[in-house]
Chain A
Amino acid sequence: MTVSAWLPARVVSVTPTTPHARVLMLDVPGWPGNLPGQHLDVRLTAEDGYQAERSYSLASSGGGARVELAVDEIPDGEVSPYLVREVRAGDELEVKGPLGAYFVWRADDPSPVQLIAGGSGVVPLVAIARARIAASASVSPMRLLYSVRSAGDALYAEEISAFEDRGVTTTWVYTRTAPDGWNGRTGRVGADLLADAVWPPTMDPLIFVCGPTGFVEAVADALVASGHDAGRVRTERFGGS
């Protein structure tokens, strides 16, 4: 898939998903389509010509002109506050993509797949889980481990909870505040949790890890230490260190 030129995009809908994140549906005529796990560039232009560009993961995949993003606000950011607080249906921006051909899932790969998300890193993994659920011919067993600060910080919480009935089970981990009555996992994702909630090395799973740098570093190190082949662990990191 070749990367598109800058394409005009119209905001179709905006849906708050947490107090600091929104799902944006865009209509992008001419969008070349994308694989689950890819991202795109967004360009905003002010009245006086000033521009800013940033990359965002796609929650959608496949062909068609409809593209879905989920954006988490970076409080001192420049673009994400606009996308989370300001933009509304009917507004216009530009996009370019799809980008990245490595952090992607292909429906013809029969490997067991383990998805591991920290915070808003779940977005490209939602795209992968949706694609797996839609791919009725796929034999790939898939599961998700999702680490969030609290239940209120989870993106796509309702949809992810419904993945279970459609073949993608989820292990939730709350790092700060667990919901009332929770008797599942809390605290940092460590080796013991990974041993419980991740396909074992003997199954040779393809593992996708996405989240803040510290989270991804810790998880990827622990996976390799517990016997997973480093070449089977694909990572996407965001934020400074």
Chain B
Amino acid sequence: MAIISRGFGSRRREADPRLPPGQYLTEDFPVLSAGPTPKVSTDEWRFSLRTEKDMVTQWTWEEFLALGVESIETDIHCVTRWSKLGTNWRGVSLDAVFAGIDTDEDYAMIHSYGGYTTNVPMADLLGGKAWIAFEFDGSPLTPEHGGPARLLVPHLYFWKSAKWVRGIVMHKRDEPGFWEQNGYNMHGDPWSEERYW
């Protein structure tokens, strides 16, 4: 039986079919990070991809952008319940990153400057679903929002879109990253509310 909160509901927000269950719309862009914001210049930035054969591919900023830049318009959903609709990004598709990479593993661990990690299945990274983004709303991504570059995997809760990315390590099994060890779901689909343990 539902619990009714007496007198609640006089000021309510409009429903929007683009909002997953339990989310509300924000015009802000809130910042949520577990620690201080790392400051990394594009000169020192490197992106590395390590496969099961211990093959490491590394890109500089210029080399990475040369993989091909796409524009992305997408909705984003944070597990702390805000959603932001129609955000604009530019970035490199993970399909382009993995184009020349030989791997059979099903899982990726995303690593960030500052030590943050998050686990994402390859099925959620390939097929036009994920990017390494470096521009938001026409400007370079600011450090507090993950600049110089963050993962953008907008069909999952936004903690999966790791800020300050510096690389990917391939894994045979799905192992928990930082928030996944600290109370949050291994997968994070907002439409089925995969929020917590």
Contacts and interface: CB of A to CB of B under 8 A. Distances in A.
Interface of A: 2-3, 8, 41, 44-55, 78, 81-82, 86-87, 91-94, 99-103, 213, 217, 220-221, 223-224, 230-231, 233-235, 237-241
A233 B35 contact: yes
Nearest to B36: A220
Interface of B: 2-9, 11-13, 22, 24, 26-38, 80-81, 114-115, 144-145, 178-179, 181-183, 196-197
Contacts of A233: 35-36
B176 to A, nearest CB: 11
A33 B138 CA distance: 45
A237 B32 contact: yes
Nearest to A238: B30
Q: Which 9 A-B pairs have the closest CB atoms?
A: A240-B28, A46-B9, A220-B36, A3-B196, A101-B182, A44-B5, A102-B182, A101-B183, A44-B8
Contacts of B24: 52, 54, 78
8 contacts: A45-B3, A46-B4, A53-B22, A54-B81, A92-B3, A213-B31, A233-B36, A237-B33
A241 B38 contact: no
Contacts of B4: 45-47, 92
Nearest to A96: B196
Contacts of B182: 100-102
A241 B82 CA distance: 13
A99 B183 CA distance: 7
B37 A8 contact: no
Contacts of A234: 34-35
B7 A240 contact: no
A82 B7 CA distance: 8
Contact of B8 (A3, A8, A82, A224): A82
A81 B196 CA distance: 27
A241 B29 contact: yes
Given A3-B197, A91-B5, A241-B29, A235 B38 contact: no
Given A99-B183, A102-B182, A238-B30, A46 B197 contact: no
Contacts of A78: 11-13, 24
Given A45-B4, A46-B4, A220 B37 contact: yes
Contact of A100 (B9, B114, B183): B183
A241 B142 CA distance: 11
Contacts of A99: 183, 196
Contacts of A103: 34
A2 B184 CA distance: 10
A55 B36 contact: no
Contacts of A241: 28-31, 144-145
A230 B31 contact: no
Given A46-B9, A78-B11, A101-B183, A235 B35 contact: yes
B6 A224 contact: no
A45 B2 contact: yes
Nearest to B30: A240
Contact of B9 (A50, A53, A101): A50
A46 B8 contact: yes
Nearest to A51: B22
Contact of B12 (A41, A50, A221, A237): A50
